[in-house]
Amino acid sequence: MHARSPFEQSHDIAQLLARYAHCIDDDRLEEWPDFFTDACDYRVVTRDNVDRGLPLAAIACHSRGMLQDRVVSLRHANVYEKHRYRHLVSNVLIDSAGETLRVRSSFAVYRTRTNGASDVFLVGMYDDEIVAAEGGWKFRRRTVICDTSRVDTLLVTPL
């Protein structure tokens, strides 16, 4: 990747965040781990635990392999009601620190269940570290900080 201007960079990041959201919303979960570097840190935490200084994550993956394992488990082992997500991502804020981009954005995820009803499932923010890697920008760290701490029924599909 040639050196990117700040405008190109912010276009790239907007596209990355959108591609990630569409990947999940289109249920192409097998492609989801490819958004991450091999060694990575993907965690879904709540604002409540973060504010209390507590480290617990609902999902905590420290390698692309663990992301793949979660997808394989969801496809082959876990039992849950079919559902679909719709991510809305906005307020993208990019700060660069050397080679790493620190990117924060807000999200809302709507969940549509088999009865056809949609609800706001979770809202919160993504706190990301994004690096230029082979094949484009990748998440080295993606921390999903949920304002919503009460999960309705279960959290299956990654955010």
Partner 1 sequence: MDMKTNPPMLNWPDRADGFAVPYAVFSDPALHAREQARIFGGETWSFVGLEAEVPAPGDFKATAIGAHPVILVRDREGQLRVLENRCAHRGALVCREPRGRVTRLSCVYHQWNYDLTGRLLGVPFRQGANGKGGMPAAFDPACHGLRALRVTALHGLVFATFSDTVEPLADYLGSMVVDSIARICNRELRLLGDQQQYMHGNWKLYAENTRDPYHASLLHLFHNTFGLYRSTQTGACVMDGAHRHTMLYTKANTSNADTDREVYRDVRSYDSSFKLADPSLLAGRAEFTDGITLVILSVFPNLVLQQIANTLAVRQIVTHGPEAFELVWTHFGYADDDAEMQRIRLVQSNLIGPAGLISMEDGEAVEIVQRAVRESQAHASYIAMGGGHAEDADHLVTEGAIIGFWEHYRAVMAL
Q: Which residues bind partner 1 (CB under 8 A)?
A: 44-46, 48-49, 52, 54-63, 65-66, 68-70, 72-73, 76-81, 149-156
CB of 136 to partner 1, least distance (A): 22
Name the 3-class secondary structure at 21: helix
- The residue among 22 and 80 lying less far from partner 1, judged by its C-beta, is 80
Return the DSSP state at 98: T
CB of 51 to partner 1, least distance (A): 10
φ/ψ of 144, rounded to 5, equals -95, 105
- The residue among 93 and 151 lying less far from partner 1, judged by its C-beta, is 151
- The residue among 2 and 52 lying less far from partner 1, judged by its C-beta, is 52
CB of 4 to partner 1, least distance (A): 32
What is the spatial distance between Cα 101 and Cα 148, in angstroms, rounded to a whole number? 26
105: which 2 tokens?
Answer: 């954005």
What is the spatial distance between Cα 39 and Cα 62, in angstroms, rounded to a whole number? 6
CB of 151 to partner 1, least distance (A): 4
In the sheet that holds 118-133, the strands lie side by side as 59-63, 36-46, 136-146, 118-133, 100-113, 83-97
- The residue among 4 and 83 lying less far from partner 1, judged by its C-beta, is 83
